[in-house]
């Protein structure tokens, strides 16, 4: 490691043995690292809260709070702004080192510590730290770029939409039927562009890990009535029947979720069904499920065994989706073969929203017979 990079790295050494701390501190300071120390797990966590470091060297066997507990707190409870690698220091015959790795530690070294091995493992974990910091910074810059880009795109689109609305309302004079038809087409295209811009921004927020959901009880019956009401004009323009089928019992229609994101999810799915259906109907149906089938259960965590789910199905009489396209339909930038296929981000965003609610999204489709998108959402928020 060059002296330039080592001087910028701060390492926290945690050990209840003053001799061990002195030895490791001396070795690392000679390499130019900045060293802070803690004699037990509690003081180590306090030090990390006060001044996060680049690497933690952590003794496993300590009184009161051992290295396992410290690792668990660092990885679970502390919500540190950046990832900090953990190097466990353990006795030669200590059992359950694997347990520490399972809790989130990155590597371990056995006592008695040799200088060459210690420095090699420190350099390795600091390379990991720098790589992850660089990745996070790139993600932050990308999100900032996308946010600025979408804002710059949205502003003229919103202005154009308002101007077109004034034309449609006759505020700028009477228009011929042909001009009215052209303006209506322009308005629809404008709305589609605005939707694509908003979708792009939401996708990158999810991917950057900067999307925070506000969970609250959400009545799906009311939400879906709202969404289908907003999308009804699109269905009417295509002479499609848009149906909503559910029970009026609000106690079985409620999930814990982010209402805004669920609104976005079902607007996306129902809007897609209308878009790709040329004749017939789009039907939204949901039921309360006490038990999931084996296929659905296999895609959810073990904690879902005791949780009840609401199943929401959006069925259309469109052309259906080719079998070879179904396996990747929820991946980013995957576009179908249909002539009206969009950016390939809508269904990917739908999947991310469903997964953020600890649910799953499925597809049943057959060419010539339409498609059914199935969303399974837990009625209560699962513990991660």
* Enclosing domain of residue 54: 3-113
pLDDT given at position 78: 73
* Same domain for 85 and 54: yes
* Same domain for 347 and 250: yes
Q: Is residue 19 part of a domain?
A: yes
In this structure, how many other beta carbons lie within 10 angstroms of the beta carbon of residue 271? 19
Range 70-81 average pLDDT = 84
* Same domain for 177 and 57: no
pLDDT given at position 248: 61
pLDDT given at position 249: 60
Q: What is the pTM of this model?
A: 0.60
Q: Give the residue among 188, 182, 190 at the shortest CA–CA distance from 154.
A: 190
Q: Is residue 119 part of a domain?
A: no
Last residue of a domain, one of 189, 211, 233: 211
Q: Is residue 129 part of a domain?
A: no
Last residue of a domain, one of 159, 179, 211: 211
* Same domain for 309 and 185: no
- Segment 131-156, tens digit of pLDDT: 999 988 887 787 778 778 877 877 88
- Segment 291-349, tens digit of pLDDT: 555 555 555 555 455 578 899 999 999 999 988 888 888 887 665 555 455 556 889 98
* Same domain for 228 and 327: yes
Last residue of a domain, one of 155, 185, 211: 211
* Same domain for 350 and 319: yes
Mean pLDDT of the chain: 84
pLDDT given at position 80: 79
Q: Is residue 356 part of a domain?
A: yes
* Same domain for 369 and 265: yes
Cis peptide before 112 (omega within 30 of 0): yes
Stronger pLDDT, 352 or 253, i.e. the higher one: 352
Q: Is residue 127 part of a domain?
A: no
Range 233-257 average pLDDT = 83
Q: Is residue 123 part of a domain?
A: no
Collapsing DSSP states into helix, strand and coil, what is residue 120?
helix
Collapsing DSSP states into helix, strand and coil, what is residue 165?
helix
* Same domain for 218 and 207: no
Q: Is residue 122 part of a domain?
A: no
Structural domains in the chain (count): 3
Residue 315 contacts residue 372 (beta carbons within 8 Å): yes
* Same domain for 271 and 372: yes
Range 225-246 average pLDDT = 91
Q: Is residue 85 part of a domain?
A: yes
* Same domain for 239 and 178: no
- Segment 2-57, tens digit of pLDDT: 444 445 799 999 999 999 999 999 999 999 999 999 999 999 999 999 988 999 99
% of the chain at pLDDT higher than 90:
47
* Same domain for 337 and 275: yes
Q: What is the CATH number of the domain that holds 94?
A: 3.40.50.2300
Beta bridge mates, 363: 373
Q: What is the CATH number of the domain that holds 267?
A: 3.30.565.10
* Same domain for 148 and 77: no
Q: In the sheet where 370-378 sits, what is the strand order?
A: 241-245, 281-289, 309-316, 370-378, 360-366
Residue 180 contacts residue 234 (beta carbons within 8 Å): no
- Segment 157-211, tens digit of pLDDT: 888 888 888 888 888 788 888 888 888 888 888 887 887 787 777 887 787 676 7
């Amino acid at each position: 490691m060059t002296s330039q990079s080592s001087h910028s790295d701060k390492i926290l050494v945690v050990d209840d043995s003053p001799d061990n701390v002195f030895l490791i501190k001396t070795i690392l300071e000679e390499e130019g690292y900045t060293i802070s120390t803690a004699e037990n797990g509690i003081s180590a966590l306090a030090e990390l809260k006060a001044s996060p470091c680049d690497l933690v060297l952590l003794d496993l066997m300590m009184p009161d709070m051992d290295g396992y507990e410290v690792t668990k707190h660092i990885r679970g409870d502390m919500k540190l702004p950046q990832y900090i690698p953990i190097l466990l220091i353990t006795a030669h015959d200590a059992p359950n080192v694997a347990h520490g790795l399972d809790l989130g530690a990155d590597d371990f070294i056995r006592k008695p510590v040799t200088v060459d091995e210690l420095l090699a493992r420190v350099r390795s974990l600091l390379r990991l730290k720098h790589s992850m910091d660089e990745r996070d910074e790139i993600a932050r810059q990308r999100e900032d770029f996308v946010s600025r880009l979408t804002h710059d795109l949205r502003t003229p689109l919103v202005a154009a939409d308002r101007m077109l609305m004034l034309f449609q309302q006759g505020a700028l004079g009477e228009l011929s039927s042909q001009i009215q038809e052209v303006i209506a087409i322009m308005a629809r295209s404008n709305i589609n562009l605005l939707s694509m811009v908003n979708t792009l921004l939401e996708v990158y927020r999810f991917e950057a890990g900067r999307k925070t959901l506000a969970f609250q009880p959400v009545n799906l019956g009311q939400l879906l009535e709202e969404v289908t009401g907003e999308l009804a004009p699109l269905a009417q323009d295509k002479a499609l029947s848009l149906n909503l089928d559910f029970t009026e019992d609000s106690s079985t229609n409620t999930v814990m979720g982010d209402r805004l994101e669920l609104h976005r999810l079902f607007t996306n799915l129902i809007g897609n069904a209308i878009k790709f259906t040329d004749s017939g109907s789009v039907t939204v149906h949901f039921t309360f499920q006490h038990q999931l089938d084996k296929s659905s259960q296999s895609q959810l965590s073990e904690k879902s065994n005791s949780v009840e789910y609401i199943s929401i199905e959006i069925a259309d009489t469109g052309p259906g989706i080719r079998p070879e396209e179904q396996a990747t339909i929820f991946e980013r930038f995957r576009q179908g073969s249909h002539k009206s296929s969009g950016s390939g981000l809508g269904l990917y965003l739908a999947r991310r929203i469903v997964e953020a609610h600890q649910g799953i999204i499925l597809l049943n489709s057959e060419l010539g017979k339409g498609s059914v998108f199935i969303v399974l959402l837990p009625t209560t928020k699962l513990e991660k």
